[in-house]
Amino acid sequence: MRTLSGIIDAVKDGKDVPYDELYYALVVVENLRIMNATALLDCTIGKYAESLTAKNLIGRLSFDRDKRAMKSNPKTWLGKHNDPRNPSCQAIRKFSKKLVEKIHAETKED
């Protein structure tokens, strides 16, 4: 499997990309989006909203995380515990979704 940047470049160049590469690349990009959104939220309204040093550190960590991911094989970057094809990963996801649904049902306004 190519690196994430290799997969993205191939797609942008109009080349055919194997399903497995696209599958894992999409999961990595979604994980990066969530991590970066969480970091951005912490910098704007979260616990680091007042700290310029923390904002700089969070920005650097985000940049470094993206850089490492782009140089990595997506499946390796995810690891087996975050691999959607791993049954234990799916069991945790199923449990998490049920928990969120339960919380939404309990907090739903009538």
3: left (phi over 0), alpha (psi -120 to 50) or beta: beta
Average pLDDT estimate for 86-103: 92
- Per-residue pLDDT reduced to its tens digit, 13-68: 899 999 999 999 999 999 999 998 888 888 778 777 788 888 888 888 888 999 99
Query: Are 73 and 79 contacting, i.e. CB atoms less than 8 angstroms apart?
Result: no
pTM of the model: 0.70
- Written as six digits, the tokens of 106 are 């309990």
CA distance 12 to 14: 5
Query: Are 24 and 1 contacting, i.e. CB atoms less than 8 angstroms apart?
Result: yes
Query: Are 46 and 26 contacting, i.e. CB atoms less than 8 angstroms apart?
Result: no
Higher-scoring residue by pLDDT: 47, 97: 97
CA distance 102 to 110: 15
Q: What is the pLDDT of residue 9?
A: 94
